[in-house]
Amino acid sequence: MINPMCPFAQRCLYVLSFKRAAVKVRNVDLSDKPSWFLEENPSKYLPALLVWNNGTKVIIHESIIISQFLDALPGISIYPKGECFLTNAAQKAVIDMKVATDVEPLRRAVRMAYWKSQPNDREVLSFKRIVKNVNDMVLNGCYFEFQIFGRDVLGFIDLMALPLIERIIAFKDLGLKYYENLRLDDLLKWYSRISQIHFIKAHSMPLTRYINLRKQMQLNKYRGLVLPAEAYDVEAKL
């Protein structure tokens, strides 16, 4: 269960698209939650994955956990898969750690940029620190695993970071204080590379949709993510 404009759902969609796994995707309007959704997913949060295992229903939440579950399904893996199981496990641990410590703080930066038009100095500093850290992890537009393992290959960190970085990039020309003297060159190079990948293109959105959603929030008109995503092609008006 997803909404195509939800950055956390997008993480799962990218992993699904990479795996080419046959999973039924159901879209949910979060501004008007249907009764089937409330019954099947009492937490009301997206993304959510319903799995039937030996007659038992399991509902999985949290974009990272769902993405890891999807990756573990039969087929190719977005995690490094070499000959040695210990190396694989150690590398997976390092990758998961990087997502937790360096990518997840982007949520806070994105949230601030969506909601807070007049940030105080502490908020601006915090935004800049989070974004600079990520910018420095993709020097010259290399994928995240280059800095960690020395190979410029798309991996799990890239897919978890993409929906959040997309929003950071989308808001860069709106004159927000967060972006004053903030270097985004490496992230922009990284973004221009990753957005050309076929399975990424299949789920990517025009960045203007995030700008229009932000406008809706700023006008205090946000009541949850609606369907279809095309609704965000038009700018919100007072």
Site residues, ligand GSH (CB under 6 A) = 6, 8, 30, 44-47, 62-63, 224
Nearby residues of 217 by Cβ (< 8 Å), 6 or more positions away:
114, 115
State how far the alpha carbon of 9 is from the alpha carbons of 40, 46, 130, 154, 172, in Å. Answer: 17, 7, 22, 19, 23
Q: How far is the CB of 142 from ligand GSH (least distance, A)?
A: 26
Q: How distant, in Å, are the alpha carbons of 33, 131, 181 from that of 89?
A: 39, 28, 39
Exposure class string for 90-118: b at 16+ Cβ within 10 A, else e: ebbeebbebbeebbebbeebbebbbebee
In contact, 105 and 137? CB cutoff 8 Å: no
Least CB distance from residue 83 to ligand GSH, whole Å? 33
Can you tell me whether residue 235 is helix, strand or coil?
coil
User: Of 206 and 224, which CB lies nearer to ligand GSH in the complex structure?
Assistant: 224
Q: Closest distance between ligand GSH and the C-beta of residue 185, in Å?
A: 28
Q: How far is the CB of 47 from ligand GSH (least distance, A)?
A: 6
Closer to ligand GSH by CB, 41 or 91: give it.
41
Give the nearer residue to ligand GSH in terms of CB position, either 8 or 191: 8
- Is the Cβ of residue 63 or residue 91 nearer to ligand GSH in the bound state? 63
**Nearest approach, Cβ of 114 to ligand GSH (angstroms)?**
11
Q: Which of 194, 186, 207 is nearest to 155 (CA)?
A: 194
Nearer to ligand GSH, 44 or 151 (CB): 44
Beta bridge partners of 56: 53
For residue 31, give every residue at least 6 positions away whose Cβ sits within 8 Å of its Cβ, in sequence order, or none.
223, 224, 225, 226
Q: Whose Cβ is closer to ligand GSH: residue 138's or residue 225's?
A: 225
Q: How far is CA 201 from CA 13, 158, 167, 192, 195, in A?
A: 11, 14, 16, 11, 6
**CB of 45: closest distance to ligand GSH in angstroms?**
4
Q: How far is the CB of 48 from ligand GSH (least distance, A)?
A: 8
When the beta carbons of 51 and 76 are compared against ligand GSH, the nearer one is 51
